[in-house]
Structure 1
Amino acid sequence: MASDAKTPVVLCWHMHQPGYQDLKTGQFLFPWVYLHAIKDYSDMAAHLEAHPKARAVVNFAPVLLEQIETYLVQIERWRHGAGAIGDPLLAALVAETLPETGSPAFQDLMNKALRANPDRIIKRFPAYARLADLAEFYRSKPDIQRYISSTFLTDLLVWYHLGWMGEIVRQRNACIQSLQEKGTGFTLDDRIALLDVIFEVMAGIGPRYRHLAKTGQVELSVSPYTHPILPLLLDLESAREAMPDIALPSHSRYPGGDLRASWQLQQARETFKRFFEIDAKGCWASEGGLSQATLAQLGKHGFQWTASGDSVIHNSMNLARENGQLPEQAGIHQPFRFGDNEVTVFFRDDGLSDLIGFNYADWHAEDAVGDLVHHMENIAGHAKGKPRPVISVILDGENAWEYYPENGIHFLDRLYTVLEDHPRLRLATYSELLEQPVTEPVQLPHLVAGSWIYGTFSTWIGDPDKNRAWDLLCEAKTHYDRVMDNGSLNSEEKHAAQRQLALCEGSDWFWWFGDYNPAQIVQDFERLYRRHLVNLYERIGYPAPPSVFQQLSQGGGEPARGGAMRPGHDKDAEAP
């Protein structure tokens, strides 16, 4: 069968971490940027490099790219004695002296070095598992901690980083293999050698994806600068389009949301071009959050395509059907345009994407890929006599693999192997499908605002904790606007305040607030959110109100996959 008769499949991997750096101190408060860089962003590039006939879309949040760059600068400065590494865990890895055993600082480092998947990472390595068992013993008997050898903490720090290392790096890098074989008693030279590998892997992220883009194997796309929910910045009331009865914050609007959304997109374009030396044609609006006003902003900034979850198109088709405006044969596996906007919108097959995120981790790789591809073949087969479908699989490029054996290497290798030579399916990119369309976009009058999670914004607004967080942000933005307009800040101070405000606008803070998320992670993110707000008030020279220092949310739930991923469909809300 000729390749142009094959059904296109787009694999879109979204790479994203929020702003973990305290811009006031330069310290990274959590290590997830560099850990996912050495484990996931590196491995995902290597899989594509190993399958040159494969194609994929890889989307980057600019705030992630800038943080990777900051890590590299800090490590280089440390190497030259010109500065410190701003991440406590990474700095401890190469510290000549570590906290006294049994001290609060010792316990803090010990606990942080155990924040890894217990089954897929810790228990996989006997030496790491023994250290974890010892840590649990020491926790239960704090009076004996002062007698622990300092080797315990140095070994634990090394194994933490070895455990988080990407699987393909693990297989190919002689230093990593040597350290794993050594197993214990790691010296300072060993730890510096490990840092060198971490630096090398992180430094390769940008160039490797840049090369994949230049060869045409990967289309690179971008999200708004700090990953905000654009529809909510533009209009908090847009949440009512999919949930008319949702409770909203006491503030009726986010002040100056139009200008902030535009700034976020312009900053994204500039940052993306600086890193990859090309202009982005596509924008994965943060969390697939779209609205008619968001499409207008994307078009204004020159983006040609975007994407969201299939519940958004279901809601939009239902609205069109109610008004007698739904074209025949409209379905989720087609490109769409809305109103007079020329941005083409593709929609995630939530069922297929969630199988990867939530089901296949415990399957044999061959069975999992066989099942996934069988579903794709059925979609292609049912389209005979109809417009040819476009099958979109979209999910995070980092969070799922922690739950797979060996960081998903077997599943991903098998997936690319099968799809790059499939007789009826072909891997494609969205820009390719715009340049050589397999079907014309379906025209609908209006996109019902929503996200890839349930087709609503309930993950970011509506819960009392989330609404309080929005009220804090709206209040801070009101003071920010007054100060920016009164001439009290110079241009450099204004720029710093703009960047600090952008961090506060990120989607992740609102994602985590609420009782259904794990307590530890909720507390981490709400403290970081409030710190960003306090820093913003300091930037504009206005005293932070007492409400900023009051705890917003506590958490306490046990969601699937730790809450870092959510399924596209709300099963509790589906009809039986």
Structure 2
Amino acid sequence: MRDNPPLYVAFVWHMHQPYYKDPLNGYYRLPWVRLHGTKDYLDMAEILKDFPSVRQNFNFVPSLLEQLVDYSEGTAKDLYLEVSRKRAKELSEDDKIFILENFFLAHWDNMIKPFPRYYELLVKRGTHLITSDLARAIKYFSEGDFLDLQVFFNLCWIDPLFREKDPFLRMLSEKGHSFTEEEKVLLLEKQLAIVGRIIPTYREMASRGQIELSFSPFYHPILPLLCDTDTSRVAMPNVRLPRQRFVHPEDADAQMRMGIEYFEKVFGFRPGGMWPSEGSVSEEVVKLAARHGVRWLATDEGILSNSLDRRIRDNSGNLTEPDLLYKVYSYEGVSIAFRDHVMSDLLGFVYSQWEPRTAAGDLIGRLRSIGNSVRSGEPRMVSIILDGENAWEHYKNDGRDFFLYLYEGLSREERIRTTTISGFINEFGAGNRLERVFPGSWINSNFGIWLGHEEDNLAWDYLSDTRDRLQEIQRQNPSLDTTNAWKALYVAEGSDWNWWYGDEHSTETQQDFDELFRFNLMKVYKEVGNDVPAQLFVPILRHDRGVSPTLMIRGFIKPRIDGLVTSYYEWYQGAQLDVKKSGGSMHKSESLIVTVYYGFNADSLFLRIDPKIPFAEFEEDTEFLVVTSRPADIRISYPIKGEGKMAELYEKTKDEWKKVKDISEVAAVDVFEIGITFADLKAREKDEINLFISVRKGGEEIERCPWRGHISVLVPTEDFEAMMWY
């Protein structure tokens, strides 16, 4: 046994966050790059400095690096940071609601409870969040409560290592309550200073050779699906595919090329290796990597099993073929490492519940067993690959105790050596030749997370339609600068949006992910001067699509269309929608619209809009638009100011809006009222009409109602009124 070479272990920590920047206003919608920056990215490297013999691999997604640079240079606009910076006495009612809703987004046991005052405020708000109760709840929180919350939320996301080493942060933690505005300002400065140290620290450690840095394609797309969505049928023969097949290997190539170029710009050298997003590979992806000079990539053991057509674990999950798994393979000149799925998941999901010393000992014991089980002679490498940030909040002390026991134990092991993947390849060669590469990801060896569900497929269809339109416009106008449009499209190709579509995963911020995906597609149209398709304003998330009115339709109405509230009863049987409760305006600013009423009789749909300010105070170039996306694309525009105006009805055919007619049954005096026949809307009995109202100024949309989803109206049958009476 002593003749055996040592067992090599390659830890790969994948550092990734979605691209959170809102393309329509430039704000980061979610704070996780900044907060994981202060809690996870830097300390993962800092802990290693005390263990120089321990080698590690860190994989950075370029879109994460871009966001870290943005924060480091002080140019990032972050909604959560701006609310944190506001003086507590200047917080608006909306700011306070935002704080109570979002400033407890942390692991309660490991990040909130260690601060007794923080947990006290959580209990005061209520551990079961009911959003509709927050407006009432803020009345019970004092100015001091909100100031403490601003401090705690940002303090708890700073790693305990830094809170312990920094005298000011240690003082804040020990003080524990009644913070001052000056302390808050200094805390936020410390926070951004930590973020600014991340990239220089990794650059320096890579130059010393203790760590290897690798990359992922720029915006973290599922590369095999960019190459061809039909690839999913290899692992899932019966999968439901999107309406339109997506076949754009040139996008996969671009995402890889941009990733390498940006990595080199940030770190000063080209990466040798790549973790393809979610470990997603196919033969075409490996060939692309070879063309870009990528020496190695990594994926999951399930891909190896399917590529070899051999089971490497039994039904109980026990490894039956260690000699197959624990080595490097080669395909088209690219070395491929296959992660030990079980041990990677133990670190990601199980060891956090164990006592740290026991967990570290268990992992080292498993590695010893592997070293004893493989045949002698050939060097073996165990690949343990997982997220480098998301697991540690589930560990006590942010995982630091576990890592100290693990690294100390590994440093003492004579028969186990940690390695970089490039270091292993340089010493022992590119690996055994692999005849084929099965297309799949680290999850179930398929692409089911990102394709197949109704929501997933709808997202792919929107992506295909947008890309086709962008390419068509570029062909028609070769001199048009489409740089920003392509960037927005590449962002929309990222894997993170579809991660939250479907039924597999859920999060408190699902709506943000849905909007960010659709906003990037909207950005493409805006950049090339095209109208944004109406469907992009409707959530892909099924439960968010329709907006329920405050009051439902209860019978036929026939209001007098004169722009006046002639009688309370003329709209009494119609539906009423409170704009604020339906999501407000596009940019969450003060709305111009207060309430929308709608209803119908057997022949026509009626709409009424109550403005917040008199129409006389609206600016000259303001107009209302009523837009339907079902059963037909119809747009009705009406300029608010001017005498004797009529509304204009347009219908979209192919990609052009053509005027069909004028509508005279429209008026805006105290309120806006309009009557539109169902025939003009191309709607028949029992058809569902989906519509929204848009306010535009100078051709730019400044408000939409409802912001999320649409108003849904079912065209009545002849006996509707009799049925409602009954």
Structure 2 length-normalised TM = 0.70
Q: Is residue 2:541 matched to residue 1:537?
A: no
Aligned to 1:421, which of 412, 425, 435? 412
Cα distance in structure 1, aligned partners of 2:45 and 2:322:
37
1:174 pairs, out of 167, 170, 174, with 167
* 1:450-506 C-alpha deviation (Å, 9 max, x unpaired): 11111111111112211111111111111111122222664xx42211211111011
| CA distance 1:446–1:236, change in 2 (3 Å) | same
What is residue 470 of structure 1 aligned with on the other side?
Answer: 460
Whole-angstrom distance in 1 between the partners of 2:134 and 2:259: 50
- Note if contact 2:97-2:138 (Cα within 8 Å) is conserved in structure 1: no
Q: Where does residue 10 of structure 2 map in the other structure?
A: 10
Conserved 8 A contact 1:522-1:554: no
Does residue 1:278 correspond to 2:278, yes or no? no
For 1:208, the equivalent position in structure 2 comes to: 201
In structure 1, runs of 5+ residues without a counterpart are 76-84, 322-327, 557-576
Change (3 A) 1:382 1:93: same
- The residue aligned with 1:24 is 24
Secondary structure of 1:520's aligned partner = coil
Q: SS at 2:58's partner residue?
A: strand
Q: CA deviation at 1:353?
A: 0.3
Q: Is the 8 A contact 2:9 2:382 kept in 1?
A: yes
Give how far 1:4 is off. Answer: 9.3
Aligned 8 A contact 1:27 1:86 in 2: yes
Q: 1:34 and 1:485 mapped to 2: Cα distance?
A: 40
**CA distance in 1 between partners of 2:482 and 2:19 (Å):** 19
Asked if residue 552 in structure 1 is aligned to residue 540 in structure 2, the reply is yes
Q: String of CA shifts for 1:393-427, please: whole Å, max 9, x gaps.
A: 00000010010001001111111111123111100
**Partner residue in 2 for 1:52:** 52
Q: Residues 237 and 185 of structure 1: is their aligned pair in 2 closer, same or farther, counting only changes over 3 Å?
A: same
Q: TM-score, normalised by structure 1?
A: 0.88
Q: Who is 1:34 aligned against? A: 34
- Structure 1 residue 446, shift from structure 2 partner: 0.9
Cα-to-partner distance string for 1:300-346 (whole Å, 9 max, x where unaligned): 1110000001111111110799xxxxxx98612111123xx000000
Checking the alignment, whether the CA contact within 8 Å between 2:147 and 2:179 is kept in structure 1 is yes
In the TM superposition, residue 351 of structure 1 has moved relative to its aligned partner by 0.4
Q: Which amino acid aligns with 1:258?
A: P
Residue in 2 that maps onto 1:389: 380
Match of 1:561 in 2: none
Query: Considering only aligned residues, what root-mean-square deviation do their CA atoms show, in Å?
Result: 2.3
Summarize the alignment of residues 495-510 of structure 1 with structure 2, pairs less than 5 Å apart: 495-510=483-498
Matched to 1:413, the amino acid is: L
Within the alignment, does 1:195 sit opposite 2:195 as a pair? Answer: no
Number of the residue aligned with 2:339: 348
- For 2:138, the aligned partner's letter is Q
CA distance 1:98–1:359, shift in 2 (3 Å): same
2:84 corresponds to: 93
Q: Is the 8 A contact 2:97 2:134 kept in 1?
A: no
User: Does 2:204 align with 1:226?
Assistant: no
Question: Is residue 101–residue 134 contact of structure 2 (8 Å, CA) maintained in 1?
Answer: no
Give how far 1:383 is off: 0.7
Q: Does 1:66 align with 2:56?
A: no
Q: Is the 8 A contact 2:100 2:125 kept in 1?
A: yes
- Is the 8 Å Cα contact of residues 24 and 519 (structure 2) preserved in structure 1? no
Post-superposition offset of 1:544: 2.1
**In 2, distance between residues paired with 1:187 and 1:312?**
54
Matched with 2:354 is: 363
Q: Distance in 2 between matches of 1:555 and 1:488?
A: 41
Summarize the Cα distance change of 1:96–1:141 in structure 2 as closer, same or farther, 3 Å threshold. Answer: closer
1:157 is aligned to 150
Residues 192/3 of structure 1: CA separation in 2 closer, same or farther (3 Å cut): farther
- Name the SS for the 1:435 alignment partner: helix
Shift of 1:272: 0.5
Q: Single out whichever of 344-353 and 245-254 deviates more from structure 2.
A: 245-254
Aligned to 1:560: none
Tell me, yes or no, if the aligned pair for 1:334 and 1:390 is still in contact at 8 Å.
yes
Q: Which residue type is aligned with residue 481 of structure 1?
A: Q
User: Which stretch of structure 1 is more off in the superposition, 511-520 or 370-379?
Assistant: 511-520
Match of 1:443 in 2: 433
| Whole-angstrom CA distance in 2 between matches of 1:230 and 1:143 | 47
Q: What is the aligned partner in structure 2 of residue 104 from structure 1?
A: 94
Question: For residues 301 and 526 of structure 2, what CA distance do their matches in structure 1 show?
Answer: 42
- How far apart are the structure 2 equivalents of 1:515 and 1:320? 29
Contact 1:61 1:227 in 2 (8 A): yes
Query: How many percent of aligned residue pairs carry the same amino acid?
Result: 32
> Conserved in 1, the CA contact under 8 Å of 2:72 and 2:193?
no
> Structure 1 residue 229: deviation in Å?
0.7
State the one-letter code of the partner of 2:42: S
* Counterpart AA for 1:463: H
- Please give the alpha-carbon distance, in whole angstroms, between the structure 2 residues aligned to 1:240 and 1:443: 25
Q: Secondary structure at the match of 2:126?
A: helix
| 2:298 aligned counterpart, secondary structure | strand
Greater share of helix: 1
CA–CA separation in structure 1 for the residues paired with 2:26 and 2:151: 24
Structure 1 residue identity aligned to 2:336: V
Q: Which moved more, 1:512-521 or 1:113-122?
A: 512-521
1:527: Cα distance to partner?
1.8
CA shift, 1:429, in A, is 0.6
* Alpha-carbon distance change, 540 to 307 in structure 1, aligned in 2, over 3 angstroms: same
- Letter paired with 1:274: K
- 3-state SS of the aligned residue for 2:196? helix
**Match of 1:296?**
287
Cα contact 2:163–2:173 (8 A) shared by 1: no
In structure 2, do the counterparts of structure 1 residues 274 and 141 end up closer, same or farther at CA, with 3 Å as the change threshold?
A: closer
Q: Do the aligned partners of 1:330 and 1:442 also contact (CA within 8 Å) in 2?
A: no
Match of 1:134 among 100, 112, 124: 124
CA distance in 1, matches of 2:187, 2:299: 39
Say which SS state the counterpart of residue 5 (structure 1) adopts: coil
Q: Write 1 or 2 for the structure with the bigger share of strand.
A: 2
Partner secondary structure for residue 45 of structure 2 = helix
Which residue of structure 2 aligns with residue 570 of structure 1? Answer: none
Number of the residue aligned with 1:117: 107
User: Residues 541, 489 of structure 1: CA spacing in aligned structure 2 closer, same or farther, 3 A cutoff?
Assistant: farther
Which residue of structure 2 aligns with residue 569 of structure 1?
Answer: none
**Cα distance between partner residues in 1 of 2:66 and 2:28:** 13
Taking the aligned partners of 2:134 and 2:177, their CA distance within structure 1 comes to 23
Contact 2:14 2:385 in 1 (8 A): yes
Tell me, in whole angstroms, the C-alpha distance in 2 between the residues paired with 1:131 and 1:213. Answer: 43
- Counterparts of 1:503-522 in structure 2, within 5 Å, are 503-518=491-506, 520-522=508-510
2:326 matched to 1:336?
Answer: no
Report what 1:185 is aligned to. 178
Q: Which moves more between the two structures, 204-213 or 542-551? A: 542-551
Q: Does 1:243 align with 2:236?
A: yes
Letter in 1 for 2:158: M
Q: Structure 2 regions of 5+ residues with no counterpart? A: 313-320, 545-726
